Structure 1
Amino acid sequence: MSVTPLFVEIGSLLEEAGGLLQYVLVFVFAAIPIVEILVVVPVAIGLGLDPVVTGVAAFAGNVGSVYVLVAAHQRLSRWWRGRRGGADTVESTGERYARARGLWDRYGLAGLSIGGPVLTGVHIAALVALLAGSPTRAVAGWMTVGIGLWTVVLVAGSVFGFSLLGIV
């Protein structure tokens, strides 16, 4: 699947929809792992949708889907621990493990959350952080920060870029 047909498909669907339905579609497209905010925000703004409302809808859709992923992981982990009798699969208590774990919790999660939306997509970044054992609240919080940052950057960059081109 090429990126160009993806832009065309999303653009044509947004263009054919009218009014509030356009922003609902922005919300839905932002929640889809392949599309996310990186595709839907520039396309929607390029079609003339309100940048602020587009940003809010895209942010809400993307964050909402990440929260669903985090909640599903939390429930699945709880179920798995109950099934295994409460025993954790990794029992590393050494000093080196504790130090590496501390470094991951302090810098790795933040870095992954900020870079994840453009490097791997937020869903994969959140899943990697959860599988690395980061606390679910921290993953949800940092992913919210990363998505918020990239939403602002994408909205501002799209508005600025399209205004330079004279499109919007």
Structure 2
Amino acid sequence: MILEYLQEWSYFAVFFLSAIPWVESAAVVVLAIAFGLSPIPSTILAFAGNWLVVVIVVLLFDRWQEWRNRKRAEKGIQKEDNKKRARAHGIFVKYGLPGLALLGPLLIGTEIAAAFAMIFKAPRKNVLTWMTVSLALWTILFATATYYGFNILG
């Protein structure tokens, strides 16, 4: 009974860990399966947690951008370039939104990739579509590899 109760809470942990920015669903699902949780619910919950944050980033991006620009203007700070921005822009220019969405989770993180897509003026609907496809692909791929990897070893 206690083990069932703990396992139930473990599934909530999978969802909430995936919803933490910069914690990718692919990593969380690997840990969940490694700790003995069922692969299908773990995959669904890891995807849902990470996807929820991406949706929030995309939907609230304009408000955040306005707030950030206003604060920078008040402080007299100019726009700075950084390595992640340069890498994301290079991917975006070379491969477009699909490339950024598919490579972003591996190179810069899902939420950051979604934010950069919005910075580069990609349409909101397209960003959500491609980020959803990317998240589903990577989460399922890592879950499948982990599940079958452990079955081969065990």
TM-score in terms of structure 1 length: 0.69
Contact kept in structure 1, 2:30 and 2:146, CA below 8 Å: yes
Structure 1 consecutive aligned stretches of length 4 or more whose deviation exceeds 4 Å: 77-80
Q: Select which of 109, 126, 131 maps to 1:138.
A: 126
Q: Select which of 67, 73, 81 maps to 2:61.
A: 73
Does residue 27 (structure 1) correspond to residue 15 (structure 2)? The answer is: yes
Give the SS at the match of 1:18: helix
Q: In structure 2, list runs of 5 or more residues that go unmatched.
A: 69-91
Give the SS at the match of 1:19: helix
Q: How does 1:41-52 map to 2 (within 5 A)?
A: 41-52=29-40
Partner of 1:61 in structure 2? Answer: 49
C-alpha separation between the residues in 2 aligned to 1:139 and 1:77? 16
Percent of aligned positions that are identical:
39
- The worse-fitting range, judged by mean Cα deviation, of 67-76 and 118-127 is 67-76
Deviation (angstroms), 1:57? 0.1
Partner of 1:86 in structure 2? Answer: none
Give the SS at the match of 2:56: helix
C-alpha separation between the residues in 2 aligned to 1:109 and 1:66? 15
What RMSD, in angstroms, separates the aligned Cα atoms of the two structures? 2.4
Contact kept in structure 2, 1:74 and 1:136, CA below 8 Å: no
Deviation (angstroms), 1:62? 0.5
Q: Select which of 93, 108, 119 maps to 1:120.
A: 108
Are residues 78 and 138 of structure 1, via their aligned partners in 2, closer, same or farther at CA, if it must alter by over 3 Å? Answer: farther
Deviation (angstroms), 1:31? 1.2
Q: In structure 1, list runs of 5 or more residues that go unmatched.
A: 1-14, 81-103
Deviation (angstroms), 1:77? 5.2
C-alpha separation between the residues in 1 aligned to 2:27 and 2:138? 12
Partner of 1:161 in structure 2? Answer: 149
Contact kept in structure 2, 1:36 and 1:121, CA below 8 Å: yes
**Bigger Rg, which one:** 1
C-alpha separation between the residues in 2 aligned to 1:42 and 1:79? 37
Letter in 2 for 1:19: Q
Deviation (angstroms), 1:78? 7.1
Contact kept in structure 1, 2:21 and 2:111, CA below 8 Å: yes
C-alpha separation between the residues in 1 aligned to 2:27 and 2:111? 15
C-alpha separation between the residues in 1 aligned to 2:115 and 2:51? 14
TM-score in terms of structure 2 length: 0.75
